[in-house]
Structure 1
Amino acid sequence: MQEVQNYVRALEHGMGRLQDMPLSLRLLREMHEILMEGVRGAQRAPGEFRRVQNWIGSPGAEAGEATYVPPPPGEISSSLGKLERYIHEETRLPHLVDIALVHYQFEAVHPFLDGNGRIGRLLITLMLIERDLLPEPLLYLSAYFERHRESYYDHLLAVSRRGAWEEWLLFFLRGVVTEARDAARRAGKLFDLRESYRERFQKAGSGANVISALDHLFARPVTDIRELANALSISFEAARRLVSSLEAEGLLEEITGRRRNRVYAAQELVRVLQSPLDE
């Protein structure tokens, strides 16, 4: 849970910093420090590029047995400097191809001792936003990479071993198509669900706080009374009554089983978000 929270915090930090600075190695280090705070790898130089050799392989494998050995520490500064310049160069390639090339190169350099995969995937999102291809992080390629994890690693390794760029690019672009269609489908379902809720409660003559609470749930489908009170600028008691009302209507379900500090989920909304993807 902490890793997921850190991932969101790192993404939000990166998006915020893009308002006043370009995508850069400095920004990646800042995000990496946030990403590694209090989780596995927290003692492995968070926010700093590695100064020792690392490698990728089965647990306990030595460098000679590794599947892939990235560049030595002395070459990281030069490799990343070239990558940073490439990110900001004007190329004749389509943006998505550029982003696929950058993602491969970052993973190939493997500049951190831990967390390279997570930062590499965040880099995709930030490039999409910086290049005005997305207004918000609505494309979640990590899900595609995770579902096809073996193929993902095989394609990256094939580029390093035999220059299989075309296969990697096709894999990456298929992922973009798949996740874009999925995001659009889920967004449509969420929109329809929100409109049905609004129509239902407006016909019932519900007050403005109920409609505001519904909007809040589509931003935060898992919430508690105090968070809802703060979000709507109402008293704790008013928020408690609102939650009880939505619970009675079947929109919210208590998911902790606790007597105090209870947490509630908008389960119908969560099901839309978590429903299996039809590829």
Structure 2
Amino acid sequence: MNVKLNMRNKGDFINQSHREGYKSTSSFLINRSFEWQDKQINIMLESCMHRLGELNAYCRFFKDIDIHLPMFTAIEVTASNMMEGIRSNMTQAFLPSASKGYRSLIAHKQVTNYINSIDWAVKELEKFPLTLHMIKETHRMLYADLPKEEETAGKLRMKFNAKDNKHQESSGSKYTPPSKYDLKILINDAKWFWRNESLELPYLIKMAISLCQFETILPFLDGNGRTARTLILLELLSLKFIEKPIFCLSAFFEKNRLEYYHRLNLIRSKNDVEQWIRFFITGMNETATFCIEKLEELQDLKNNYQDRIETKLGKKRHPSAKQLLHIFYSKPYLSVNEIKEEMQLSFQSANQLVKEFEEVGFIKEMAGARRNRVFYLWEYLAIFEM
């Protein structure tokens, strides 16, 4: 049975009361065929796939792209944090030692967790299809060693606290997700929907429906949005739409946060999924463009760095300058002692190299560090700042 995406049938969302003393909303099952009336969606799909192909070409041929992947991950984590109401930046993500402050250590751990979860999941997807175990393990790794989160990480919620509903805070709606009794049914339905090849749906449509369903049933006590958007990245990698985890979808959603939650609520209030499909495809298209632009800026900067090394530093300094730049790409904040250890130099030689990098304009010193001074690759970081 084919069902139009812009369904208006009351009853697809069912209000229920429970012995625990709260009311919840049970979502419709999605493992079925869908059709859409707006033919503009077909044109949007074609444009988006073309742009994803462009991004994948950049991923394939961009020299040393792997060393820059943590920076793109940091964009995703920073944007995802902002959607959760947490202000974070690149300094917090990459400079945990600059301050013993709680926030910087947490931000650094979030980036590390995200990289570890993606690496693990990508390897798993090479052997197995997407499973509930993989979703739970990805969530667990995202919140490993984080205060207050680790106890429930990777575990489906057994209750729901309406005060924790980010959708409600952002949109003013009074939505409570399905009860624990319906949760497993809905998750299994979503899992089979993704595996069901007989539906003959474009994968981007499947991703859009899967994301809104995940955000609707909210299977975990916290981190549902981050986990759902991580799954989109995993699906893109699994399908070989892109070859590297370089997709920062949360940046688009954060820029359009109110619209994001408004459109999710339109599905619940009016069963209008079609408008969400258009929004999602727009986000995928704009995110691919965003990542391409970042790679272009990055390549221009690397060429500029190369020119400055060749024209402003002595020829004998070229190898060590290129080596230090390579280190800064993955660790954009470094102290002289760290440079000394990374490059196996004497402190005097490391300090002299840092001085020359300052004079050329590659790096700047962080203010406030009297001992063990810290320097950062400022133009490089500026490309990735939100």
Amino acid corresponding to residue 35 of structure 1 in structure 2: L
Root mean square deviation, CA, Å: 2.6
Amino acid corresponding to residue 345 of structure 2 in structure 1: S
What is the alpha-carbon distance in structure 1 between the residues aligned to residue 350 and residue 292 of structure 2? 32
Please say if residues 365 and 373 of structure 2, whose CA atoms lie closer than 8 Å, have aligned partners that are also in contact: yes
**For residues 210-255 of structure 1, what are the alpha-carbon distances to aligned partners after superposition, in whole Å with 9 as ceiling and x for unaligned?**
112223333333333455455x542362444332321222111111
Aligned residue number for residue 264 of structure 1: 375
Query: How far 1:85 sits from its partner (Å)?
Result: 2.4
User: Residue 123 of structure 2: SS of its match in structure 1?
Assistant: coil
Of 113, 135, 143, the match for 1:10: 113
The count of aligned residue pairs is: 270
What is the alpha-carbon distance in structure 2 between the residues aligned to residue 116 and residue 130 of structure 1? 21
* TM-score, L = length of structure 1: 0.85
What is the alpha-carbon distance in structure 2 between the residues aligned to residue 2 and residue 174 of structure 1? 34
Q: How does 1:168-187 map to 2 (within 5 A)?
A: 168-187=276-295
Aligned residue number for residue 61 of structure 2: none
- Which structure would you say has the larger Rg? 2
Query: Which consecutive residues of structure 1, in runs of 5 or more, have no partner in the other structure?
Result: none
1:188 aligns with 2:296: yes
Of 235, 238, 248, the match for 2:345: 235
Please say if residues 333 and 375 of structure 2, whose CA atoms lie closer than 8 Å, have aligned partners that are also in contact: yes
**For residues 35-70 of structure 1, what are the alpha-carbon distances to aligned partners after superposition, in whole Å with 9 as ceiling and x for unaligned?**
3345464266122111113446779x9xxx962111
Query: More deviation in 39-48 or 179-188?
Result: 39-48
Distance 1:108 1:2, change over 3 A: farther
What is the alpha-carbon distance in structure 1 between the residues aligned to residue 181 and residue 365 of structure 2? 54
Greater relative contact order, per chain length (Cα 8 Å cut-off, separation 6+): 2
Query: Which consecutive residues of structure 2, in runs of 5 or more, have no partner in the other structure?
Result: 1-103
Aligned residue number for residue 87 of structure 1: 194
Aligned residue number for residue 108 of structure 1: 216
* TM-score, L = length of structure 2: 0.63
Query: How far 1:208 sits from its partner (Å)?
Result: 1.3
Please say if residues 251 and 267 of structure 1, whose CA atoms lie closer than 8 Å, have aligned partners that are also in contact: yes
Distance 1:58 1:10, change over 3 A: closer
Runs of 4+ in 1 over 6 A off after TM superposition: 56-59
Amino acid corresponding to residue 77 of structure 1 in structure 2: K
Of 41, 48, 52, the match for 2:155: 48
What is the alpha-carbon distance in structure 2 between the residues aligned to residue 58 and residue 20 of structure 1? 31
Please say if residues 15 and 126 of structure 1, whose CA atoms lie closer than 8 Å, have aligned partners that are also in contact: yes
Aligned residue number for residue 366 of structure 2: 255
**For residues 15-51 of structure 1, what are the alpha-carbon distances to aligned partners after superposition, in whole Å with 9 as ceiling and x for unaligned?**
3222134433222222322333454642661221111
What is the alpha-carbon distance in structure 2 between the residues aligned to residue 120 and residue 3 of structure 1? 21
**For residues 178-236 of structure 1, what are the alpha-carbon distances to aligned partners after superposition, in whole Å with 9 as ceiling and x for unaligned?**
22212211211110110121122134423312112223333333333455455x54236
